Amino acid sequence: MILSRQVNGYLTKSSWIRRMFEAGIELKKQYGSENVYDFSLGNPDLAPPQAVAQGLHALAEEAAQPFVFGYMPNAGYPQVRQQLAEVIASEQGVPVSQDEVVITCGAAGGMNALFRAVLEPGDEVICPAPYFVEYGFYVENHQGVLRPVPSKPLTFDLDLRALAATITERTRCVLVNSPNNPSGKIYSVEELAELAEILRQASARIGRPILLVSDEPYRFLAYDGVQVPGIFPVYEHSVVISSFSKNLALAGERVGYVAVNPDMAEAEKLVAGLILANRILGFVNAPAVGQKLLSKALGHAVDVSIYAQRREVMAQVLQEAGFSFTLPQGAFYFFPRIPKGGDDTAFVQALMQEQILAVPGSGFGYPGYFRLAFCVDEATIRGSAQGFARAYASAMEQE
């Protein structure tokens, strides 16, 4: 067999998100793209803010200069790290310097660099479910083990008792994603403070710090005045990972960062390990063009009011069809419950008969639900209404 057993196994249980996206390509060929309602992939459809276009024009003027896109320090351009540190400090509510920030190849590259830097073979990373499926791959890349812990049904509040019970001597990190993909849940400062106290007590018992890692690519996208709490003031052994895929609509440019809490013991050593891991994993540095664009576009974002309006329309469509769901507090996903507590994969197949593409909750470690990405135009959301209603009614009629 040409492939390793691990990768061959991954292929057989490959991401449901990508599977549904690829199924959508075939459906669009068959029925026409205007007749397929594709909610499968969280690919932001809004144009980048004008600052990105202006930045590209400015870079074109600079492109004739020597080394303009050449190597830089592995942690990124110092000026961009400093600008980024100022933004992170504002979000987290504590002073952050460029020395605590490493620019990475997207949030995924940053997460892999972190796990490479801190995990020993067999170490465990706990995360609340539902969760982004590729967390498991990232942990296993570095011989770790992902330990998902189901959140509370429908509300998706942290089950703190269950999280505490899952901690062992091999626990190295707890990974949270807020606003959450796929549920849209924003963890409250009270939840995070309770989690932090659990981690302090467990760290003292184990004899080494458990890291609290916050994955925050949707921080910019919160609704109804809900605030996304900073993790740094809550817990000293914390790390923030994020990217600019969503807020600047630069998903393909692969620019993100890892920020280390300046109050962490051995913060300087962890940053040094991240920089080394960024290099030895083959990333070397984040893309030069992306970093330079980031320098010119920090402080700007896509128009979040468009997503807010789409959220309202999607909620109306689901409510009128009869689905049970919690209105997402952030991000651009709904995570409704399957009718009658049925099989989520079977229900997603039934939706495909209505030319609706969704992703089963099983793909996020949380069966009985399904995910809808509403980063699509309003016409697509409204056009799906009858199909959702028929699929729901059919599921309710089945014995």
| Three-state DSSP state, 260 | strand
| CATH number of the domain to which 57 belongs | 3.40.640.10
Number of domains in the chain: 2
Q: Is the pLDDT of residue 8 over 90?
A: no
Q: Is the pLDDT of residue 52 over 60?
A: yes
| Shared domain check, 369 and 284 | no
pLDDT value, residue 17? 67
The Cα 364–Cα 333 span in angstroms is 13
pLDDT value, residue 398? 77
| Shared domain check, 168 and 240 | yes
Question: Average pLDDT for residues 58-87, to the nearest whole number?
Answer: 89
Q: Please, is 10 exposed, middle or buried when counting C-beta atoms within 10 Å of its C-beta (0-12, 13-18, 19+)?
A: middle
pLDDT, tens digit, 9 for 90 and up, residues 207-243:
999 999 999 999 999 999 999 999 999 999 999 999 9
| Three-state DSSP state, 165 | helix
Conformation bin of residue 185: beta by default, left when phi > 0, alpha when psi is -120 to 50: beta
| Shared domain check, 254 and 365 | no
| CATH number of the domain to which 18 belongs | 3.90.1150.10
| Shared domain check, 79 and 38 | no
| Shared domain check, 353 and 313 | yes
| Shared domain check, 336 and 282 | no
pLDDT value, residue 264? 97
Residue 15: domain span = 5-49+303-397
Q: Of 253, 273, 297, which one is at a domain's C-terminal end?
A: 297
| Shared domain check, 253 and 307 | no
The Cα 166–Cα 158 span in angstroms is 13
pLDDT value, residue 15? 65
The answer to whether 203 touches 346, Cβ cutoff 8 Å, is no
The answer to whether 146 touches 192, Cβ cutoff 8 Å, is no
Query: What percent of the chain has a predicted confidence (pLDDT) above 70?
Result: 97
pLDDT, tens digit, 9 for 90 and up, residues 345-391:
999 999 999 999 999 999 999 999 999 999 999 999 999 999 999 99
| Three-state DSSP state, 1 | coil
Q: Which residue type does 380 have?
A: T
pLDDT, tens digit, 9 for 90 and up, residues 167-216:
999 999 999 999 999 999 999 999 999 999 999 999 999 999 999 999 99
pLDDT, tens digit, 9 for 90 and up, residues 112-134:
999 999 999 999 999 999 999 99
